[in-house]
Amino acid sequence: MRGKILLSFVFGLFLSGCGASLAVAQDDFGAAPESQIAPAEAATAGPTVPSTVNVLLAGHRTAAERYTDTHSKRRRSIAWRVRSRVADDRNFTNRTRFLAHRIAELGRPVGPTERGVATTGEELLDALVRASQKGPIANLVIYGHAGSAALFMREDRGFYASVAEVAKGSQIVSGTEDERDDELRAAGARDLSDFEGLLARGDIRFVRSPVIVFAGCGVAGKRDIDRAGIAARLAPLLNAKVIASIDVTDQSMGRGRDFRNKEYSRRTWVRFQGADPPERLNTRVIDALQQLNFDGDVVAAGPPPTAEHPDQN
pLDDT attached to residue 301: 57
Asked whether residue 278 carries a pLDDT value surpassing 70, the answer given is: yes
Model confidence pLDDT, tens digit, residues 78-96: 999 999 999 999 999 999 9
Phi, psi dihedral angles at 118 (to 5 degrees): -125, 130
User: Which residue, 50, 33, 225, is CA-closest to 148?
Assistant: 225
| Higher per-residue pLDDT: 216 or 296 | 216
Instruction: Confirm whether 239 is domain-assigned.
Output: yes
| Domain residue limits at 130 | 39-291
C-alpha–C-alpha distance, residues 295 and 106, integer Å: 13
Instruction: Confirm whether 20 is domain-assigned.
Output: no
Model confidence pLDDT, tens digit, residues 186-213: 999 999 999 999 999 999 999 999 999 9
pLDDT attached to residue 9: 39
Give the mean pLDDT of the chain. 84
Q: DSSP letters of 141-197? A: EEES-EETTEE--STT-SEES-HHHHHHH-SS--SSHHHHHHHHHHHT-EEHHHHHH
Instruction: Confirm whether 192 is domain-assigned.
Output: yes
Asked whether residue 143 carries a pLDDT value surpassing 50, the answer given is: yes
Q: Judging by beta carbons within 10 Å of its beta carbon (0-12, 13-18, 19+), is residue 93 exposed, middle or buried?
A: buried
Instruction: Confirm whether 19 is domain-assigned.
Output: no
pLDDT grade for 15, boundaries at 50, 70 and 90: very low
C-alpha–C-alpha distance, residues 132 and 140, integer Å: 12
Instruction: Confirm whether 188 is domain-assigned.
Output: yes
Contact 186, 122 (CB under 8 A): no
Instruction: Confirm whether 118 is domain-assigned.
Output: yes
C-alpha–C-alpha distance, residues 193 and 130, integer Å: 19
Instruction: Confirm whether 306 is domain-assigned.
Output: no
Average the pLDDT over 235-252 and give the result: 95
Number of H helices, E strands in the chain: 9, 14
The amino acid at residue 90 is: R
The pTM for the full model equals: 0.80
**Number of domains into which the chain is organized:** 1
State the Cα angle at 219 between 215 and 222, rounded to 5°. Answer: 125
Instruction: Confirm whether 21 is domain-assigned.
Output: no
